[in-house]
Amino acid sequence: MREVYIIGIGITTFTRLEYPLSEIAAYASMGALKDAGLTDVDYLVVANMGSARINSQSALASAVADTLSLTPAGAVRVENGPASGASAIKEGFMAVASGMHDTVLVAGAERMREVNSLEATDFVATLTHPMAEYIYGVTLPGHAAMFTRLYMEKYGVTERHLAMVGVKNQNNAMLNKDAHLHQPISLEGILDSPEAMTNNPWVAEPIRFFDCCPVSDGGAALILASKEVAEASGRPMIRISGIGQATDTLAVHEREEPTDLMAVRRAAEQAYAMAGIKPKDIDVAELHDAFTILEIVESEEVGFFEKGKGHIALEKGETEIGGKMPINPSGGLKGKGHPVGATGVAQVHEIVMQLRGDAGERQVKGAKNGLACNFGGFGNNVIVSTYTREG
Amino acid sequence: MREVYIIGIGITTFTRLEYPLSEIAAYASMGALKDAGLTDVDYLVVANMGSARINSQSALASAVADTLSLTPAGAVRVENGPASGASAIKEGFMAVASGMHDTVLVAGAERMREVNSLEATDFVATLTHPMAEYIYGVTLPGHAAMFTRLYMEKYGVTERHLAMVGVKNQNNAMLNKDAHLHQPISLEGILDSPEAMTNNPWVAEPIRFFDCCPVSDGGAALILASKEVAEASGRPMIRISGIGQATDTLAVHEREEPTDLMAVRRAAEQAYAMAGIKPKDIDVAELHDAFTILEIVESEEVGFFEKGKGHIALEKGETEIGGKMPINPSGGLKGKGHPVGATGVAQVHEIVMQLRGDAGERQVKGAKNGLACNFGGFGNNVIVSTYTREG
């Protein structure tokens, strides 16, 4: 298997964007091409979840290839729910690793604010079990609320812990010019003050407004390349060192222990084994905090902390940028935003910035190994990947 | 690059199916697993175009993995318009070729008849250029009609040639129990008799009813495997010998010569180069005849006949099952049906049957090399692949 490197990264601001979906993908891609010093690639993999349903556009990859004048290069769209981005990276990785292609553009994009928030919520809910969940009206916030309640009862997580994740990530986002939310928040303002409950109402009890990521438009892109192309580019050598992926039962209620996210655990184990590293070797991580509880649980399942102890590490400040195991320095989905198809690509955009030492005020000093966890469905299709700076 | 073999195939009847989309994919997959003698795979690639828009289901691959109890294997959905099926095969190929996975289930499925034909036509039209074509109301039959008119004027193709493709393929479908249309037709009945114009009205002049494929539900599946697994399986050794892919301008009117399908030509050239074979080495082909004109043009662009001469070869009977270059023995999209995401996979299902010598009444004698052309958009994303029987 050939080694695969990331030699270019690009991103749009995550916000409400008033230009077409294919141009969101193209804008991020132009940044990545420029960063890599390339004007052409052999193959495109485009990650997106909702184009046909919410933007009336199918075969998005063909449109992106055309918009960027990258024809006649082959192009494919990958849709894997919220894990679409990391899935696209995996497909791009295999394209280079196999020797089929030497350079691959991986672009993720979503334009969700074209529809109203009810339609966006319904659209995201289409990833649930069609006969056991969706038809009964369950939404992702509803799933997350039930999951959060179980976790609180089993492991002693409190509303305060959830709020601490939100405060940390939304304040990290203040250091990221491309983040969606640029509004500093505090425990005082969203939990402890008389106005807090007005500022931060229930969405689905025990989940409050500030426990949920925003609905964002945005795009992110990476250039993957063979070792030969990477060396010739002169860009920092950031290698995709491990990729793991696992599925779980589609319906959450069918799991033996619903508070175990087995797909996260298995995907992480595979990624570490492939990379030949251990959780303690990871210097910086981007975890999929679509809801605040998920950062806590994923930080346990990927092996950073013992099961049920993630909220303790959080309390101690270990997951802050200056802490022992910095998580979501970019702001995460909570602060940076969650344009679904772009998210998994944007996580790796941040890891590459960190490993290059280019993350400015939010830099994790001396980061050499990074990890990203892109969480699909409600934990039914998860990809964990690791990245290693060489030289 | 590791060699990749197809050791299992499965298919549903193409028709109107009253069971859920994920079960359509699963039904075909169970056939493929059984054929391969496997109960498990390392990875799933699911091809589908319209699940989110017409079936309110996203992240279909996760549902298929769950339905088949193949968890925790990783799974991904590929959407590339009508070329989704071949794209999934390409992704599965690279997964095995890279060494990332040893066995991959490639399943394609579509459930289009859940919506009415106007909605189905609009859904398919979402693959056109969003700003230059879709918003002006162009449909795929509209595109095909304009293209057909140009081809008639430039190369002397007549309505009779178009009808000959339809008659050949729909009658081939009579020999295929899984085909959608089991209604024999003749030139007399659809073109030459007094009732013909009633039986066969214009859809978009010069295209008539019998020039268009039906709207079908259906699924098809393949098991891809490494050489070691293939040899151990004891199944016939059918190797994926070549894969080529090319894009073209999204909007048809931007092409220098609109009657040239450059993406087909380029994809075919790449596939032949990779396989180390030439058009004359191909014994049987499945071409993407969503409209009758496309079989004629593709038969030229993949190099079977000179440009502008495909209709002459057709007249001579060369593309019949007993002819020099049999095309669409399965019935093609025209006769077998066109459940979009399944189509590219079903084409290869037929090629494998032919190369195994298992095609019964429609067998092309002694077939050793086969070719499939899966045509995305209106020729803006095309995959041509070749298959070779070993031993």
- Digit-coded pLDDT (tens) for A134-152: 999 999 999 999 999 999 9
> Could you tell me if B79 and B137 are in contact, meaning their C-beta atoms sit under 8 angstroms apart?
no
Taking an 8 Å cut-off on Cβ atoms, the answer to whether B1 and A99 are in contact is yes
Taking an 8 Å cut-off on Cβ atoms, the answer to whether B59 and A376 are in contact is yes
Of A269, A270, A329, which Cα lies nearest the Cα of A295?
A329
For residue B10, give how far its alpha carbon lies from the nearest alpha carbon of chain A (Å): 23
- In tens, the pLDDT along B184-215 reads 999 999 999 999 989 999 999 999 999 999 99
Taking an 8 Å cut-off on Cβ atoms, the answer to whether A97 and B95 are in contact is no
State which H helix or E strand residue B316 sits in: none
Q: Which residues of A touch B94 (CB under 8 A)?
A: 91, 94-95, 97-98, 100
Taking an 8 Å cut-off on Cβ atoms, the answer to whether A58 and B76 are in contact is no
**Structure pTM?**
0.98
Question: Is A73's Cβ below 8 Å from some Cβ in B?
Answer: yes
- In tens, the pLDDT along B298-328 reads 999 999 999 999 999 999 999 999 999 999 9
Question: Is A77's Cβ below 8 Å from some Cβ in B?
Answer: yes
The residue of B18, B44, B58 whose CB has the most chain A CBs within 10 angstroms, and thus the best one to mutate to test that interface, is B58
Mean per-residue pLDDT, B58-79: 98
Instruction: Look at residue A391 in the predicted model and tell me its pLDDT.
Output: 82
The residue of B41, B76, B133 whose CB has the most chain A CBs within 10 angstroms, and thus the best one to mutate to test that interface, is B76
Q: Which residue shows structure tokens 């994926």?
A: B240
Taking an 8 Å cut-off on Cβ atoms, the answer to whether A249 and B71 are in contact is yes
Q: Which of A79, A247, A383 has its CB closest to that of B73?
A: A247
- Averaged confidence pLDDT in chain A: 97
Q: CATH 3.40.50.620: does it fit domain A4-115+215-233?
A: no
> Could you tell me if B131 and B267 are in contact, meaning their C-beta atoms sit under 8 angstroms apart?
no
CA closest to B19 among chain A residues:
A131
Q: How many residues does chain A have?
A: 391
Provide the residue type at A36 as one letter: A
Question: Is B358's Cβ below 8 Å from some Cβ in A?
Answer: no
What's the Cα-to-Cα distance from B291 to each of A48, A59, A69, A225, rounded to whole Å?
A: 29, 19, 28, 39
Q: Which of A59, A129, A131 has its CB closest to that of B381?
A: A59
Q: Which residues of B touch A261 (CB under 8 A)?
A: none
Question: Is B73's Cβ below 8 Å from some Cβ in A?
Answer: yes
For residue B308, give every residue at least 6 positions away whose Cβ sits within 8 Å of its Cβ, in sequence order, or none.
B154, B155, B156, B300
**Burial (CB count within 10 angstroms: exposed 0-12, middle 13-18, buried 19+), residue B255:** middle
Q: How far apart are CA A56 and CA B114, in angstroms?
A: 18
Question: Is A183's Cβ below 8 Å from some Cβ in B?
Answer: no
Question: Is A75's Cβ below 8 Å from some Cβ in B?
Answer: yes
Structure tokens at B147: 């293209």
Q: Which of B50, B66, B247 has its CB closest to that of A249?
A: B66
Query: Does residue B62 register a pLDDT over 90?
Result: yes
What's the Cα-to-Cα distance from B3 to each of B48, B223, B254, B282, rounded to whole Å?
A: 26, 14, 38, 20
For residue B236, give every residue at least 6 positions away whose Cβ sits within 8 Å of its Cβ, in sequence order, or none.
B355, B356, B389, B391
Cβ within 8 Å of B, A 24-53: 49-50, 52-53
> Could you tell me if A100 and A73 are in contact, meaning their C-beta atoms sit under 8 angstroms apart?
no
Of A290, A312, A281, which Cα lies nearest the Cα of A378?
A290
CA closest to A61 among chain B residues:
B80
Mean per-residue pLDDT, B29-58: 97
> Could you tell me if B359 and B272 are in contact, meaning their C-beta atoms sit under 8 angstroms apart?
no
Label residue A96 by pLDDT band (50, 70, 90).
very high
Cα first-last separation, chain A: 21
Collapsing DSSP to helix, strand or coil, A321 comes out as coil
Does the ipTM exceed 0.90? Answer: yes
- In tens, the pLDDT along A38-89 reads 999 999 999 999 999 999 999 999 999 999 999 999 999 999 999 999 999 9
Q: In chain A, what is the greatest distance between 2 CA atoms, to the nearest angstrom? A: 61
For residue B177, give how far its alpha carbon lies from the nearest alpha carbon of chain A (Å): 31
CA closest to A1 among chain B residues:
B98
Label residue A286 by pLDDT band (50, 70, 90).
very high
Q: Which residue shows structure tokens 């491990």?
A: A242
- What is the percent of chain A where pLDDT is above 90? 99
Taking an 8 Å cut-off on Cβ atoms, the answer to whether B380 and A78 are in contact is no
Query: Does residue B356 register a pLDDT over 90?
Result: yes
How many other C-beta atoms are found inside a 10 Å radius of the C-beta of residue A391?
Answer: 4
Q: Which residues of A touch B91 (CB under 8 A)?
A: 76, 91, 94
Question: Is B64's Cβ below 8 Å from some Cβ in A?
Answer: no
Q: Which residue shows structure tokens 């496309």?
A: B294
What's the Cα-to-Cα distance from B62 to each of A81, A82, A161, B50, B112, rounded to whole Å?
A: 9, 11, 31, 16, 20
Angle between the A262-275 and A292-301 helix axes, to the nearest 10 degrees?
Answer: 50
Q: Which residues of A touch B376 (CB under 8 A)?
A: 59, 62
Provide the residue type at B352 as one letter: V
Taking an 8 Å cut-off on Cβ atoms, the answer to whether A70 and B247 are in contact is yes
Exposed e or buried b per residue across B183-199, where buried means at least 16 C-beta atoms within 10 angstroms of its C-beta = eebeeebbbeeeebeee
Q: Which residue shows structure tokens 């902390």?
A: A305
How many other C-beta atoms are found inside a 10 Å radius of the C-beta of residue B118?
Answer: 9
3-state helix, strand, coil in chain A (%, to 5): 40, 20, 35
- What is the percent of chain A where pLDDT is above 70? 100
Of B348, B385, B355, which Cα lies nearest the Cα of B369?
B355
CATH-assigned architecture of domain B4-116+215-233: 3-Layer(aba) Sandwich (3.40)
Q: How far apart are CA B62 and CA A252, in angstroms?
A: 13
Taking an 8 Å cut-off on Cβ atoms, the answer to whether B62 and A80 are in contact is yes
Taking an 8 Å cut-off on Cβ atoms, the answer to whether A247 and B62 are in contact is yes
Taking an 8 Å cut-off on Cβ atoms, the answer to whether A71 and B248 are in contact is yes
- In tens, the pLDDT along B107-158 reads 999 999 999 989 999 999 999 999 999 999 999 999 999 999 999 999 999 9
Q: Which residue shows structure tokens 């490197």?
A: A5
Q: Which residues of B touch A266 (CB under 8 A)?
A: 72
Give the domain ranges of chain B. 4-116+215-233
Question: Is B191's Cβ below 8 Å from some Cβ in A?
Answer: no
Collapsing DSSP to helix, strand or coil, A281 comes out as helix
Instruction: Look at residue B93 in the predicted model and tell me its pLDDT.
Output: 99
**Cα-Cα-Cα-Cα dihedral of A136, A137, A139, A144, to 10°?**
-50
DSSP secondary-structure letter at B189? I
Question: Is A158's Cβ below 8 Å from some Cβ in B?
Answer: no
Of B299, B276, B300, B244, which Cα lies nearest the Cα of B369?
B276
Backbone torsion region of residue B94, taken as left when φ is above 0, otherwise alpha when ψ lies between -120 and 50, otherwise beta: alpha
Cβ within 8 Å of B, A 96-155: 97-100, 123-124, 126-127, 129-131, 134
